[in-house]
Amino acid sequence: MAISNSVVALFVAAVSLHGGFSHAAPVSISSKDIGGVVTGEKGPEAGVWVIAETIVLPTKFTKIVVTDDKGQFVIPELPNANYQIWVRGYGLVDSPKVASRPGKLLKLKAVTAPSEKAAAEYYPGVYWYSLLEMPGKGEFPGTGDKGNGIAITMKTQNAWVDTVKNMCQSCHALGTKGMREVPEVFSKLGDSATAWAHRTQAGQAMPYMALALGSLGPEKTFSFFSKWTDRIAAGELPFAKPERPKGIERNAVYTMWDWASPKYYQHDAISTDKRNPRVNANGLIWGSPEESTDLVPTLDPIKHVAASVRHP
């Protein structure tokens, strides 16, 4: 099983996203931008995301920015297209989508979440992941299948946590909605532990997952993961709440394209050499489907075209 395989996000730290603003002036935009202000029940909504999305380009295209202290925003350098615009933020639920085009100014209304449960649906996955319990320090080193179920090679609690983090979380983003909820195709096969056992045996990466589980102790691990998803299904919520972006965090523009195929497991993407980011400037982004197909996905971030190359 894998996390979402079709979206890649490029992060651009802008020197000053809101450079056209003055203390009393309205939002300043060009013919390629969409700008405006977001207000809520108590006035301007600071530190919330404003999302512009279109499906009329060769691939679905999304650009996201963050509002300033006055609730103002500018979504810059948009391709010429019709867009759906909406607001998302901590403490909110998604606002109704508004149609717009580059060159337009908007007044958007944020929608306060009706409950803590509704608000928590928008928390980063790590907040839900933090609800996962782990074996106590006194259970290490493990005593194996005939003992406490933890592998005898697992010497410390720190090693157990590190293994889950690097062999499970790093690929599967455990707290995201697709992971904290067990799909019916697995849950109907038996109790929660059985569902998790079947879940980890699905997909082309199953041998590697079996290796990771073997290093932890499979049955014991299934019991911890099944209790985690059972508690969430019963209504347990993260005990901490995320803060909205502030300071330099608001000077961000996120550009996203929907590419590859929903049928294949895309694990990674690369566009350049991290030692020299000038390599392949404005060139294709290449995906890694990790054994799920011979088709290597590509994305042209300038023309917004998704394609693929057959691996030799």
Check pLDDT > 60 for residue 5: no
Residue 184 has pLDDT above 80, yes or no: yes
- In angstroms, the Cα distances linking 72 to 19, 62, 113, 215, 242 are 11, 19, 21, 50, 21
- How confident is residue 312, by pLDDT bands cut at 50, 70 and 90? confident
Domain ranges of the chain: 7-114+243-258, 124-233, 264-312
Question: What CATH architecture applies to the domain 7-114+243-258?
Answer: Sandwich (2.60)
Asked whether the predicted pLDDT for residue 22 surpasses 80, the reply is no
For the ranges 110-119, 155-164, 286-295, which has the lowest average pLDDT? 286-295
Q: Give the pLDDT confidence score for residue 126 in this predicted structure.
A: 95
Q: Is the pLDDT of residue 120 over 80?
A: yes
Residue 220 three-state SS: helix
78 or 5, higher pLDDT: 78
Distance of CA 84 to the CA centre of its chain: 20
Strands 268-270 and 285-288: antiparallel
Is pLDDT of 129 > 50?
A: yes
pLDDT at 26: 78
Strand partners of residue 16: none
pLDDT score, position 308: 93
Mean pLDDT of all residues in the chain? 90
pLDDT at 6 over 60: no
